[in-house]
């Protein structure tokens, strides 16, 4: 059964930014990626983002990125939207990655704001439109100034929203007031990029989430969103509050580190991390166990 998609929810409602499983020797674990992808869809995700930050994209090769997209698409078929991260701080390279993702079977693109080189707003506009022009895939922008060093201005989001294939924004800015204005003006489908802010952003017009906690609690996140959409504010708030230990726990250090640790604790494919990321310490794992238990995650 194909995942639900409308102009208002072009990528579904609950997407997980999937980790990339590695083998013990540090190679990409395509079999593990397929098993994890199937598990995530079975658990309540109607979309998966591969080759994103949580997928350790800074340390995977272009060839590995293509292999991963093909593997995940092969595992989940039409049961979920598979969105491929293709954004870099080099427009030409981003265009190449976008075309590669399309050829590998991705159904959408995630384009992060170019990082480190801090382009002006006109540079951002030209970058995003150049990549969007390069394929026929729908595009989700990714606004995360804490990592990229520059935010996408409201006016730029409005301009970008006029492009026929730029249809959504993943908001990791952490500013609900700013999101309120941008949602109202841009016409973009708005996805929370910060688990703890999903419910607040829903209240000002967001349609879903690109989650990290969705590795563990996708079903509960979906229940929260559906309760909010049904007007059951009390239930949505109760679910949100029950998940706070999970939302907090997996980000006590870099999110990929503790997400992979949590998956290992559940016996799911994860494997080691590639430097400069390192595995969780015994103390971090002990605290993670407490956080997950407090959030109702059974190990």
**CA–CA distance from 208 to each of 10, 45, 189, 195, 254 (Å)?**
10, 11, 9, 10, 23
Query: In whole angstroms, what separates CA 73 from the centre of its chain?
Result: 16
User: How far from each other are the two terminal CA atoms of the chain, in whole angstroms?
Assistant: 30
Pick from 218, 262, 294, 253: which is nearest to 3 by CA?
218
Contact (Cβ atoms closer than 8 angstroms) between residue 262 and residue 279: no
CA distance 26 to 93: 25
Q: Which of these is catalytic: 170, 235, 260, 287?
A: 170
* Count of positions (residues) in the chain: 299
- As a dihedral over the C-alpha atoms of residue 32, residue 101, residue 16, residue 260, rounded to 10 degrees, the angle is 40
DSSP string, 188-225: -EEEESSGGGHHHHHTTT--EEEESTHHHHHHHHHHHH
Q: Which of these is catalytic: 125, 142, 191, 260?
A: 142
Active site residue 235: no
Active site residue 118: no
The pair of structure tokens assigned to 146 is 């804490």
In three-state secondary structure terms, 40 is: helix
- Taking only Cα atoms into account, the Rg of the chain, rounded to an integer number of angstroms, comes to 18
The pair of structure tokens assigned to 9 is 């929810």
Residue with tokens 């971090």: 284
Q: Report H helices in 139-175.
A: 145-148, 154-160
- Give me the active site residues, please: 142, 170
């Amino acid at each position: 059964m194909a995942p639900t998609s409308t102009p208002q929810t072009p990528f579904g409602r609950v997407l997980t930014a999937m980790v990339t499983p590695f083998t013990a020797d540090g190679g990409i674990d395509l079999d593990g990626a397929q098993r994890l992808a199937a598990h995530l869809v079975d658990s309540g995700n109607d979309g998966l983002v591969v080759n994103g930050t949580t997928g350790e994209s800074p340390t995977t090769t272009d060839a590995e990125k293509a292999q991963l997209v093909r593997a995940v698409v092969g595992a989940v078929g039409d049961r979920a939207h598979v969105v491929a991260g293709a954004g870099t701080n080099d427009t030409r390279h981003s265009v190449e990655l976008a075309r590669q993702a399309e050829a590998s079977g991705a159904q959408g693109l995630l384009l992060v704001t170019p990082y480190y080189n801090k382009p002006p707003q006109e540079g951002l506009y030209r970058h995003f439109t150049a990549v969007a022009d390069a394929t026929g895939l729908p595009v989700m922008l990714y606004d995360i100034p804490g990592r990229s060093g520059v935010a996408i201005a409201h006016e730029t989001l409005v301009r970008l929203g006029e492009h026929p294939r730029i249809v959504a924004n993943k908001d990791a800015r952490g500013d609900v007031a700013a999101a309120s204005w941008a949602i109202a003006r841009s016409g973009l489908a708005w996805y929370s990029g910060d688990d703890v802010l999903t419910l607040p952003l829903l209240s000002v017009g967001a349609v879903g989430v690109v989650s990290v906690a969705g590795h563990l609690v996708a079903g509960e996140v979906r229940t929260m969103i559906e309760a909010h959409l049904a007007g059951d504010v009390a239930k949505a708030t109760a679910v949100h509050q029950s998940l706070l230990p999970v939302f907090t726990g997996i980000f006590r250090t870099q999110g990929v580190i503790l997400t992979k640790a949590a998956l290992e604790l559940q016996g799911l494919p994860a494997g080691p991390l590639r430097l400069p990321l390192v595995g969780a310490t015994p103390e971090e794992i002990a605290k993670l166990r407490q956080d997950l238990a407090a959030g109702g995650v059974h190990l």
